[in-house]
Amino acid sequence: MMEMYQKAGKIVSKVRKKAVNQIKEEMKIIDLVEFVESETIKLGGKPAFPCNVSVNEITAHYTSPSNDKTTLNLGNLVKVDIGAHVDGYIADTAISVLVGDGESEENDTKESNSENIAEKNIKMIETAQAALESAICTIKPGLEVGKIGEVVEETIKNKGFKPVANLTGHSMDRWILHSGLSIPNIKDNNPHKLEEGEVLALEPFVTDGVGLVADIKDIYIFRFLRDRPLRMIYAKRVLDKIKKDYKNLPFAERWLLDVFNEHRLNAAMRQLIQSRAIYPYHVLKEKSNAVVAQAEHTVIVEGDGCIVITE
């Protein structure tokens, strides 16, 4: 088991580093997403969820739909969230990157404003990383989960920012990305004590906004929930494919386009959502439209500390 987790961790670590080197102005998000997912497979893993590329105030759950034309622009703060699994054993990691230097060449005033924004965003990225490192240093068997959030919140606020209060890290199990335990990013009264062998994704989110996220209407990521009686035979075929290929792990609709007709697939997906056979993950946005940074590692609780498998 540990060997599988470590293999998955090495894969996402390598892919994360390669992905950062790919990011550039005017790059299509779908090209970055597909690069990450294909590299994961080349290195011997499978995506544990669709690669998330969330820009500025978009905080999580954005992956490209098919034929996505969205591009990265100079000065964008880009969060790349990557998961890989080896036979169901998952490693999850994320990093934030500023596209280019964030500067404008139009005039002195705009250039000055752009520099100030870039400096703030770089500081936000550094704060997310510092909060992650602080969280990792606290992990040990017997630690109350709420204490992790307290350390994360303190680190972020000391740098002049806010944690995103309604997003958390999570425990993981084989084939289960969110296995029941939430790891807070704010002080919390959760008395659960960490146990040796628990696998945790620690992921602070940092903003200069109100520190809350909300759903928007866009949905590009889904997860199998249960078998349901379905009106459409085509929908049943789609659900069988989802259950067989992805089990309980999140997937993107675009992953199914190699097998299914796009128009019929869209109709089938609507029925699967309505019947609650699959769960839709709405894209999440910071409520005040403020920029958000994220950092994430997967750790395994052991001995008197933890091992980080995604460094």
CATH of residue 180's domain is 3.90.230.10
3-state SS, residue 69: coil
Q: Are residues 117 and 257 in the same domain?
A: no
The token pair at 49 is 């969820």
What's the total number of domains in the chain? Answer: 2
Q: Are residues 104 and 73 in the same domain?
A: yes
Q: Are residues 265 and 227 in the same domain?
A: yes
Pick the catalytic residue: 115, 133, 173, 178?
178
- Average pLDDT for the chain: 95
Contact 309, 14 (CB under 8 A): no
Q: Are residues 33 and 160 in the same domain?
A: yes
What is the largest distance, in Å, between two alpha-carbon atoms of the chain?
63
Burial (CB count <10 Å: 0-12, 13-18, 19+), residue 257: middle
Active-site annotation holds for 188? no
Q: Are residues 250 and 162 in the same domain?
A: no
Q: Are residues 23 and 117 in the same domain?
A: yes
Structure-token match 């060449």, residue found: 105
Pick the catalytic residue: 57, 81, 208, 253?
81
Q: Are residues 73 and 112 in the same domain?
A: yes
Q: Are residues 198 and 97 in the same domain?
A: yes
Task: Please state, for a pLDDT cut of 90, what percent of the chain lies above it.
Answer: 92
User: Confidence class of residue 215 from pLDDT cuts 50, 70 and 90?
Assistant: very high
Pick the catalytic residue: 57, 68, 85, 170?
170
CATH number, domain containing residue 233: 1.10.10.10
Active-site annotation holds for 192? no
Q: Are residues 132 and 267 in the same domain?
A: no
Active-site annotation holds for 296? yes
**pTM of the full structure:** 0.94
Going by DSSP bridges, is the β-strand pair 58-60/278-286 parallel, antiparallel, or unpaired?
antiparallel
Q: Which domain holds residue 75?
A: 2-216+290-308
Q: Are residues 51 and 185 in the same domain?
A: yes
pLDDT in tens, 88-139: 999 999 999 999 954 444 445 556 677 789 999 999 999 999 999 999 999 9
Q: Are residues 122 and 261 in the same domain?
A: no
pLDDT computed for residue 110 by the predictor: 57
Contact 95, 260 (CB under 8 A): no
Find the radius of gyration of the CA atoms of the chain: 19
Pick the catalytic residue: 37, 39, 68, 92?
92
pLDDT computed for residue 112 by the predictor: 65
Active-site annotation holds for 81? yes
The token pair at 58 is 């978009």
pLDDT computed for residue 113 by the predictor: 74
Give the closest residue to 31 by CA, choosing from 57, 80, 82, 68.
68
Q: Are residues 200 and 242 in the same domain?
A: no
Pick the catalytic residue: 37, 198, 203, 286?
203
